[in-house]
Structure 1
Amino acid sequence: MVLLLVASLLVLAAFGALAPDPQPSALRVMVASVVALLAPLFWPGAAATPLRTLGRTLVWSLAATLLAGLAMALLGQGAPPALLLPVCAMLLPILLLTHALAAGLQAGWQPEATGSPDAQAARWAAGIAAMLLLALAGAAPLWLGPAAELASARHETALDILVATSPLTHLAVAGGLDLLRTAWLYQNANLAALPVNYPQAGHLAAVYAAACAVLTLALVALQRRQGADHAIPLTENPP
């Protein structure tokens, strides 16, 4: 966790988060985004069983969320908790699902969840893959914007759907930031000049809650299946 904190502060400093008088909402979203991207690189990896992996993922995601909240409070110079909590509440399920993806990738590449070098390499590779996939999803309005603009000629909701699929949009909605009107995106994203409706925070919360519930049920079912596979059948001794 200390390494995650140090890495996050270094990246934030490189992106100008330590500059005087930053935009408060943009700063909160920037902190949450950096922590979300870096957390998979430092997480402890999958455990021996699905439920233990779920518990480890939950604890790590909570710790990373608290770290992000602390960084927001420090860099935001005493921002009220009412402004920090919505961003942290949105960050937590993003971290949960991202690390669940990393755990699935690790299990697929190295089923034996041990401390062997191969398992550690699989954990590291899975963390990098999860980080890259999260980055691609977050930047979807930028690199898929031209395609969505073309599709909007026939489907009016194409732009809204694309923007709604981005985790970066979700953090911006929670942080009260007009993402497409920020300076860099306004100059480089074609969607900034188009009429786009952001998703509502309540709808996003419902989707994330459903996704986390499905993930939990799937892991419970997998745990039971593994328990049944490892059960020793009882046989009667012949007379």
Structure 2
Amino acid sequence: MKLVSWNVNGLRACVTKGYLDYFNVMDADIFCVQETKLQEGQINLDLEGYHQYWNYAEKKGYSGTAVFTKIKPISVSYGVGDRNEEEEGRIITLEFNDFYLVNVYTPNSQRDLARLTFRLEWEERIREYLIQLDKLKPIILCGDLNVAHTEIDLKNPKSNKGNSGFTDEEREKMTILLNSGFIDSFRHLYPEMTDKFTWWSYMRNVREKNIGWRIDYFIVSEKLKERIKDSQIHSHVMGSDHCPVVLELH
């Protein structure tokens, strides 16, 4: 089984930059996107063979998630638990026969950390939600989680210490999540690999010089550990300030 996750930073723009070419080449069983930045009716994607599920933000041109899947899910929910009114369109959960897929676009703490408190509360809620789901079936969590967990997950850890996405608080929340029965699939396979990033600033030459952050993940339940075949970062794929990440399961 092949799963892909990509923060497209505006799906309409990404489609003009080769999104569908990559989508067709990958031929994924499940393809998740974040930061779609659109409302219902603003795009018509003809994805033959795929069921489409969208969670739109109420605010126009902001946030939003979608899942395109060949496998019809048993059920689909939006938001966390009963909070299906979730107004920023950040979460879609699909239930399949032997796992739950949770596609997430985690809130950014913002440059001045104005949203850090909101972000940390979000992390608590999400972790509890995942733990409860995991009691029922194994979890595959994917998306832009907006945190570089360890120092090898970004190019310049010293100068970024305390910045949004690399605060002690955000990194600790990731540690707690992983200690709750979940695995960072990429680090599980490649624990010491450096210079593998999924997001780069739009500042000049930053991507060419690979001055990036690894903030996009496939995190899976411990129960799925033996099924992990590969976890890849497709940094060669353009079209967004993020690149796609790929999980292959036996």
TM (norm. structure 2) is 0.26
Taking structure 1 as the reference length, the TM-score comes to 0.26
